[in-house]
Amino acid sequence: MPPREPASPDNALDVSLASDLSALPMLAQAIQEFGTAHALSLDFQSRLNLVLDELVTNSVCYALPNLAEPELRLRLFVDQGTVVAQLEDNGEAYDPFEKGPAPDTSLGVTERPIGGLGIFFVKKLTDSSTYERIDGRNRITLKNAIGGQASDE
């Protein structure tokens, strides 16, 4: 899948991921390599892995299973002190930030219905999280300032 943005920064990492859960170890490896190359703390890398693991799992389990030619792509880069992660798939249009269920965090773990907690964590652990539908593709863009405090909220 060719990039849909202007020329990417020199520090960009573009990865095609498997359209099944075998993508998760590759995702973790890509984040580790990117984190090492950009001197990101292990805590930062762990938070990035957690949110991207959630989003990749959602794509694999809900957006891609019925497609003849599923595509899943991750792009990571640093822009002015901010790590930007863009995850794209060619599944049906779905904005998890608007359409996903909001969890009732006042309920105990056993009382909560399944769903929504992963996106809740994505929002809490990133400085910004947005969804776009571009050329028949879902694109989620996450941004976190290097050294930011998103995990403290």
Q: Which one-letter DSSP state was computed for residue 147?
A: T
pLDDT tens-digit map of 120-138: 888 889 999 999 999 999 9
Kindly report which listed range (12-16, 65-69, 83-87, 118-122) carries the lowest average pLDDT score: 118-122
In one-letter notation, the amino acid at residue 121 is F
Give the integer Cα–Cα distance in Å for 61 and 38. Answer: 31
* pLDDT tens track for 94-104: 898 887 666 55
Question: What is the predicted pLDDT for the residue at 4?
Answer: 39
Residue 8 belongs to some domain of the structure: no
Q: What's the domain count of the chain?
A: 1
In a domain, 5, yes or no: no
Inside any domain, residue 97: yes
67 in a structural domain: yes
In a domain, 57, yes or no: yes
Question: What is the DSSP annotation of 27-73?
Answer: HHHHHHHHHHHTT--HHHHHHHHHHHHHHHHHIIIIISTT-SS--EE
CATH number at 138 reads 3.30.565.10
Which domain range does residue 87 map to? 13-152
What lies within 8 Å, CB to CB, of 68 at 6+ separation is none
